[in-house]
Amino acid sequence: MPYDPERHGPHRIVGKGFHARVWAAVGAVPAGAVTTYGDVAAALGARSVARKVGHALAALPATGSDVPWHRVVQSSGRISGAPEGERALRQADALRTEGVGVHANGQVQDFPARRHIFGSVGE
DNA sequence: CGGCTGACGACCT
DNA sequence: GAGGTCGCCAGCC
């Protein structure tokens, strides 16, 4: 149950540091697990801002970041972008290092079972 | 200060 | 499955 507007209500991501919220949420994803842009957005309170989640991760420094951005994939379980793209290759490699299998086309093996479920905002 | 731009996703044909 | 549409909204021109 990624997000249920009927129960959670039409929350809005307000205030400051949207990036920081995204990074904090992504940082809560344990190694060996993956999550989706939409799930992160939902964890922040607004499932509709999945795009912004991607944007926030894109703003991360290429290296030296402690944010496990590679654990974030599309809702389909696929790594975003072209599978041969530089970013996608790095992401796939990082995931395999953590024991997460990734197909040549970028699809995460056993994606549904590895999908991390966020508890609540801020986790 | 207005317009464009997306590491996306749900929905429809 | 594979395509196209539409919404979303914080940043960056």
pTM for the structure as a whole:
0.85
Q: Which candidate, A86, A48, A88, places its Cα nearest to that of A96?
A: A88
Q: Which nucleotide is nearest to A79 (CA to C1')?
A: B7
Per residue in A68-121, pLDDT (tens digit) is: 999 999 999 999 999 998 899 999 999 999 999 999 999 999 999 999 998 765
Looking at residue A25, its amino acid is A
Burial code (b: 16+ CB inside 10 Å, e: under 16) for A18-47 equals bbebbbbbbebbeeebbbbbbbbbbbbbbb
Residue A108 pLDDT: 97
- Proximity of residue A35 CB to strand B below 7 A: no
DSSP assignment, residue A45? T
Residue A45 pLDDT: 72
Smallest CA–C1' distance to C7, residue: A48
Residue A44: pLDDT band (50, 70, 90) is confident
Residue A16 pLDDT: 54
